[in-house]
Structure 1
Amino acid sequence: MFKIGYRTIKSAVGAGVAIAIAQSLHLDFYAGAGIITILCIKQTRKSSYETAWERFLTSVIGLIISWLIFENFGYHPWTITLLLLITFPVMVGLKAKEGIPAASVIISHLYTLQHIDWHVIVNELGIIVIGILVAFIANSYMPSSEKKLLEYQRKIEQNFKRIFREMAIYLRYGESNWDGKELMETAEWIKEAKEVALHNIENHSAEEEKAMYRYFQMREKQFEIMERIMPTVSMLNHTCDQSQQIAGFLEELADAIHPGNTADIYLERLEQMKREFREQPLPVDRIEFETRACLYFFVGEMKRYLIIKKALSKKKATPDSSDKSTTKKMDPSPN
């Protein structure tokens, strides 16, 4: 079953309103106002405003150049070709490519009329202004994606917990029947969440929206670290004491992915583990040497993992994934 999106509804209603206004003012080609409104409505408020300005600029440029070309060379198909060869490069040079369709609408009106005077100019400017103003009003409100972002946050955190716990299981028992689907899911969800968060910033620009985008950036960096340590974890022998120690650390870390900030606690735990590794006897063979190298690599990467979260906690907190209220804001997770 198909669904009608919010942008589709705004475009349809906006086009109808623009046409109704232009028609009530007895403007010629009043349907053009609806077309311009549709062209100016975009996914985000920021892109809509930028596009509206480009369409106004290019429409005026197209109107001026059309006046010069048609009045000097007449209304012929080949003059349309000449007009477009001049107009389009000018618009591209002004970095206003988005306005080319709107300018083409104006040019088609002038060619159809076969004459240009002040009445025609005022008529076309009226169509442009009405179309853009209606689009501005339609884009003045954009629905927040906070609920969707909080759902992404919840799912990503759940997968982080699962990944850490599966690592711990492998370290404890030396085997696991985990299929690793959470890895692909998490990578895809982080990518999607960043796109939604970026759109939210362009629509609202509030500090909470920016904080959510920074949150998913943080998770992306942490996830890269998790992917890096997995081969190292797989190289550790589950029978050694260090593997059991790391397994316990990962289990506690998984349980700590919840609202609040406890990164300092786990950073201290890592330093303690590092000191204990140093106090152990030097490796006597290649296997022990490789194991010790893996242990130090793990500690270093997990330290980076926690420092990334700690750095985010110094900035304004993001919404709690377990808090369904839109007014309560806090740090999404500690680790």
Structure 2
Amino acid sequence: MKIGFRTIKTAVGSALSIYVASYLGLEFYSFAGILTMLCLRETVKRSFRDAWERFVACLIGIAFAVLAFHLFGFHPWVIGLILLFLIPTSVMLKVQGSVLTACVIILHMFMSEHVGVSMVLNELKLVAVGIGAALLMNSYMPNREKELVRLQKQIEGNFKSIFQQIARFLREGATDWEGREITETVDILRDALKLALEDIENHVLREETGYYAYFLMRSRQFEIIQRIMLTLSPLEGSYEQGRQIADYLDEMSVHIAPGTREMTQGRLDSLARLQDEFKKADLPQNRHEFENRAALLHFIHDMERYLKIKQKWLIRDKR
């Protein structure tokens, strides 16, 4: 059994809010602990958003309950009448996910048969204590940078291995590669994007989008790598152009890390020179040579897109 950091915060925060509500002498003080559990979300921004929605829903519920119970008395059908107006209003204000929280407050008033100032203040204090404890617990979030850096290095290592294997296939015709890095990269990118998005939502006062933009860039590059593999897989035989591309891919595998715009431009220039050499080469002599040449030219265009995606990311990252 593993107890996570969020579980610990939920346990401590709920106990704290119940203790504070009890110390203040509030009725239904255990409700503060439930509110704390509900508002402790995965990220700081989600907690703030959820806390605000529940606060608004509770205010609406209190307003409708005070009005309805005051006019019609404390009857079960009055609760149905309140819900008849509460739910559409919550939907209109986009706080429908917090209707159940407001319903609990309405039931508090119904069970107490009291909607005076003291009861309203009691419910507002319960909401304040419950939400406050949740926000206090979520004010600290563990630093995810080490994990993000680890995922970044794994992706770059897999990209390097994939380029080397493609180069080996072009140079030697080797087909014994199992492709483990492909499926592994799919999983890593999925986890990295999720983690990077959570990291963004844990910065309330400033936007930290660096890692998310990086993994999004790698995700787009990986789509191109998969297309390149499909393009080159039907190649037959070993041709001079294929060996030239293999040398280029070996060079690319050394420069997977972010690097600089100048380094990326250098790879683009090398690719352009390679394309010029292909254009000057003798025309294909048979169908197989023609299909191979077409695949290699298609590879050049895909690799150009791969590098330009990185170039655009580097430009934005330096701003």
TM-score under structure 2 normalisation? Answer: 0.94
Q: What corresponds to 2:255 in structure 1?
A: 256
- Show the 5 A alignment for 1:247-326: 247-258=246-257, 260-261=259-260, 262-316=263-317
For residue 184 of structure 1, what is the amino acid of its counterpart? T
SS in 2 for 1:28: coil
Q: 1:177 to 1:149 in 2, by over 3 A?
A: same
Confirm whether residue 158 of structure 1 aligns to residue 157 of structure 2. yes
> Which stretch shifts more, 75-84 or 4-13?
75-84
Query: Does the 8 Å CA contact 1:162/1:254 hold for their aligned counterparts?
Result: yes
Query: Does the 8 Å CA contact 1:170/1:238 hold for their aligned counterparts?
Result: no
- Show the 5 A alignment for 1:143-292: 143-204=142-203, 209-258=208-257, 260-261=259-260, 262-292=263-293
Query: Does the 8 Å CA contact 1:55/1:102 hold for their aligned counterparts?
Result: yes
Taking the aligned partners of 1:300 and 1:17, their CA distance within structure 2 comes to 61
1:73 CA displacement: 2.6
What RMSD in Å do the two structures reach over aligned CA positions?
Answer: 1.9
For residue 224 of structure 1, what is the amino acid of its counterpart? E
1:205 CA displacement: 5.8
Query: Does the 8 Å CA contact 1:238/1:244 hold for their aligned counterparts?
Result: no
Q: Percent identity?
A: 43
> Which stretch shifts more, 271-280 or 105-114?
105-114
1:315 CA displacement: 3.1
Query: Does the 8 Å CA contact 1:39/1:102 hold for their aligned counterparts?
Result: no
Q: What count of residue pairs does the alignment treat as equivalent?
A: 317
> Which stretch shifts more, 302-311 or 276-285?
276-285
Q: What corresponds to 1:112 in structure 2?
A: 111
1:67 CA displacement: 1.4
Taking the aligned partners of 2:238 and 2:98, their CA distance within structure 1 comes to 67
Confirm whether residue 78 of structure 1 aligns to residue 71 of structure 2. no
1:207 CA displacement: 7.4
> Which stretch shifts more, 67-76 or 163-172?
67-76
SS in 2 for 1:17: helix
For residue 268 of structure 1, what is the amino acid of its counterpart? D
Query: Does the 8 Å CA contact 1:166/1:178 hold for their aligned counterparts?
Result: yes
For residue 230 of structure 2, what is the amino acid of its counterpart? P
Gaps of 5+ in 1: 318-335
For residue 296 of structure 1, what is the amino acid of its counterpart? L
Taking the aligned partners of 2:72 and 2:181, their CA distance within structure 1 comes to 66
Q: What corresponds to 1:324 in structure 2?
A: none
> Which stretch shifts more, 286-295 or 268-277?
286-295
Q: What corresponds to 1:330 in structure 2?
A: none
Taking the aligned partners of 1:107 and 1:207, their CA distance within structure 2 comes to 38
Q: 1:78 to 1:97 in 2, by over 3 A?
A: same
Q: 1:208 to 1:270 in 2, by over 3 A?
A: farther
Gaps of 5+ in 2: none
Q: What corresponds to 1:331 in structure 2?
A: none
SS in 1 for 2:74: coil
Q: 1:46 to 1:208 in 2, by over 3 A?
A: closer
Taking the aligned partners of 1:316 and 1:298, their CA distance within structure 2 comes to 27
Query: Does the 8 Å CA contact 2:45/2:204 hold for their aligned counterparts?
Result: no
Query: Does the 8 Å CA contact 2:105/2:123 hold for their aligned counterparts?
Result: yes
> Which stretch shifts more, 96-105 or 54-63?
96-105
